[in-house]
């Protein structure tokens, strides 16, 4: 009997959750959403999706070419602006531009999507500048954009959606990318608790492996080889040329195994923006849900052993 009761209770819980997650906020045509990193990838697709649903999309691109291509693929309702998230001057100008457009309505949604992953390499191969280059975009830029636009989001009692990564839960390789995504997780968690009394909701997106510019094996491997050429002979000898070639092959394989269905990420981004009851975290992709997230909860000795199976072995 208790088994039947348990099954019924679980079924009712799942039904209630299913119903809650499909409720959408009203007045979509009047809501403004700013998305960073719209030249390509997740940001570009999300901008087109939200535009198709009638929202007032403010798409921030790094290049004029990216902005032109996006405008050509969307309705006249979508507006673009140029934004370099590493430049305080650019962020200030973008904030003034957004304020001019949203007026008293405020900014319903801020999607911090802009990011970079290069250079990626063993930490020992990198310099402080290599780390700063990635952190400035993925973390410091994200924070500055958020703080600059937060008054407008509070005005609308809207949403902040920050794109992290499963690598923000489990650092599988060296370089600043994983570090920056851990930082995004921490910043988002603290911001979510601080903004709750103001009616602002903060969500974290944790994609697995997807075929975006960040995952482009040509660029990643090229950067990896350039770092190799700059290493002292002693360090090259310690790692060995085999390490270099194995890493390059692994990056190409990782790209092949990555999903090309970017909508798996943009759909949960849209849910975080438009659902009445958004989640605090969204894991996107089967690899994120079935591999990386469970592995992140394992004891360190076990996760180290499993990840170590896929890492190149230095010459010693």
Answer whether residue 70 is part of any domain: yes
Other CB atoms within 10 A of residue 32 CB: 22
Run of H or E including 58: strand 56-61
Pseudo-torsion of CA 257, 263, 268, 270, nearest 10°? 160
Q: Exactly one of 4, 13, 32, 177 is catalytic; which is it?
A: 177
> Is the alpha carbon torsion for 279, 41, 89, 181 positive or negative?
positive
**Considering the domain boundaries, does residue 7 fall inside one?**
no
- Report the C-alpha dihedral over residues 233, 238, 241, 247, rounded to 10 degrees: -120
For the domain that residue 121 is a member of, what is the CATH number? 3.40.50.720
**What rounded mean pLDDT belongs to the chain?**
93
Give pLDDT, residue 6. Answer: 66
Answer whether 125's CB lies under 8 Å from 227's CB: yes
How many domains, the chain? Answer: 1
Q: What is the dihedral of CA 178, 181, 182, 186, to 10 degrees?
A: 170
Long-range residue pairs from 75-80, CB within 8 A, at least 24 positions apart, any chain: 75/51, 77/51, 78/47, 78/51, 80/38
- Token pair belonging to 70: 């996006």
Scanning the structure block, which residue is given the tokens 């996760």?
Answer: 303
Residue 15 lies in a domain: no
Q: Which two tokens stand for residue 43?
A: 């940001």
Task: Look at residue 225 and tell me if it is in a domain.
Answer: no
In a domain, 143, yes or no: yes
How much is the pTM? Answer: 0.92
pLDDT band at 7 (very low <50, low <70, confident <90, very high): low
CB 114, CB 141: distance < 8 Å: yes
Is residue 248 assigned to a domain? Answer: no
pLDDT value, residue 59: 99
In a domain, 223, yes or no: no
177 included as an active-site residue: yes
What CA–CA distance (Å, rounded) separates 60 from 307?
36
pLDDT tier at 233 (50, 70, 90 boundaries)? Answer: very high
Q: Which domain holds residue 37?
A: 27-214+260-308
pLDDT in tens, 108-148: 999 999 999 988 899 999 999 999 999 999 999 999 999 99
Residue 90 belongs to a domain = yes
């Amino acid at each position: 009997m208790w088994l039947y009761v348990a099954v019924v209770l679980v079924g009712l819980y799942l039904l209630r959750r299913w119903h809650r997650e499909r409720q959408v906020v009203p007045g979509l045509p009047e809501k403004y959403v700013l998305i960073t990193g719209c030249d390509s990838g997740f940001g570009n697709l999300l901008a087109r999706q939200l535009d198709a649903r009638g929202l007032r999309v403010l798409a921030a691109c790094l290049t004029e070419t990216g902005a032109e291509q996006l405008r050509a693929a969307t309705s006249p309702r979508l507006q673009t602006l140029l934004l370099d998230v590493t430049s305080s001057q650019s962020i200030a100008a973008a904030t003034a531009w957004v304020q001019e457009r949203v007026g008293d309505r405020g900014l319903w949604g801020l999607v911090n999507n802009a990011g970079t992953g290069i250079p990626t390499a063993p930490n020992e191969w990198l310099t402080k500048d290599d780390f700063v280059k990635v952190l400035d975009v993925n973390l410091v830029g994200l924070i500055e954009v958020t703080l600059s636009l937060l008054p407008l989001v509070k005005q609308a009692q809207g949403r902040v959606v920050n794109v992290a990564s499963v690598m923000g839960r489990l650092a599988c390789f060296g370089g600043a990318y994983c570090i920056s995504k851990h930082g995004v997780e921490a910043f988002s968690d603290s911001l979510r608790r601080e903004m709750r009394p103001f009616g602002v909701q903060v969500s974290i997106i944790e994609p697995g492996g997807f075929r975006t510019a960040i995952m482009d094996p040509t660029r990643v491997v090229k950067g990896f080889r350039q770092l190799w050429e700059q290493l002292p002979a002693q360090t090259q000898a310690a790692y060995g040329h085999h390490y270099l070639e194995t890493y390059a092959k692994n990056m190409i394989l990782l790209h092949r195994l990555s999903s090309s269905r970017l909508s798996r990420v943009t759909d949960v981004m849209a849910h975080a923006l438009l659902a009445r009851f958004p989640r605090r975290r969204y894991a996107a992709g089967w690899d994120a849900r079935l591999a990386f997230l469970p592995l992140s909860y394992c004891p360190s000795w076990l996760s180290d052993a499993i990840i170590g199976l896929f890492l190149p072995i230095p010459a010693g």
